[in-house]
Amino acid sequence: MSFVKYIESKDGTLLYAKVQTTEVPETAKATIIIVHGLAEHLGRYDDIANVLIQKGFNVIRYDQRGHGHSSGENTFYSKVDEITDDLGAIVLYTRKLLPQQQVFVIGHSMGGYTAALYGTKYPRKIDGYITSGALTRYNHELFAGIPVGLDSNDYIKNELGEGLCSTEIVLKHYVEDALNKKEISVGLIRTLEKGIEYLKLEARDFKDPVLILHGENDGLVAVQDSVEFHDEISSEDKQLIIYPELEHEIFNEFTMKTEIFNTVISWIEERLKSAEEEK
């Protein structure tokens, strides 16, 4: 089963979501929510979504507000709560649609930031998290060159291409993809910075199982972000994997993505097995 729908967030923003399930959704291994990164959209996660479906999982993806087909001002956030409220709306929908299912969240880059924020603010709401190149600290000041004095409603050019992925065709498609945003609001950047401060201050509140993945040669988000996040959170079940020579989009690295997908699936299945044994 596959369908798309709009899910309403707390403030009325409509989030475009794609729901894909196994033939009998209630008997799937688990349901996975995928959260995309900055200036992109849910369609860039077709590969991992399709593999998860083939392996017996339900998958729900959504466009973050101001991205893809979701409503909201173009790549704009005015406060950190909007980001967590949006994921919360997707989680609530998922729990209502499939109440018996365990739910895991996969977040890449800003999606990993979203997942980390949600897990920190609302511990024990999700059965486990997987982050990829997640912006959880600010060791590489990606937007350090923003001119002083810009208003939150001002925009800067999206220059996220360099260091994105070592697979050339991925870079080509990224640039040509009409749904990828060409500009990023200053409001979004400032909201990201506020959220990062929150993540640092409240790191001990993140208690859930988490698999933290990062490419060693990530040109957008420093690998040190994931190292510090791993070290500072209080999760008893946490694992950090750093992939040598890989860049930011490890799920799109042609030579490694199958291995990485298998690592993610194995990690989820191990948690499901442990939960079953504890019953």
| Distances from the Cα of 21 to the Cα of 95, 150, 214, 244, angstroms | 14, 44, 28, 34
Neighbours of 200 (CB within 10 A): 14
9 in Cβ contact with 89 (< 8 Å): yes
36 in Cβ contact with 87 (< 8 Å): no
* 144 contact partners, CB below 8 Å, separation of at least 6: none
pLDDT at 99: 97
Q: What pTM was computed for the model?
A: 0.96
| Distances from the Cα of 75 to the Cα of 11, 47, 68, 106, angstroms | 16, 24, 9, 21
pLDDT at 176: 92
Element (H, E) at 103: strand 103-108
* 241 contact partners, CB below 8 Å, separation of at least 6: 211, 212, 213, 214, 263
pLDDT at 181: 95
Domain boundaries, the chain: 2-277
List the chain residues with pLDDT less than 50: none
111 in Cβ contact with 36 (< 8 Å): yes
Element (H, E) at 34: strand 31-35
Architecture field, domain 2-277: 3-Layer(aba) Sandwich (3.40)
Q: What is residue 32's DSSP assignment? A: E
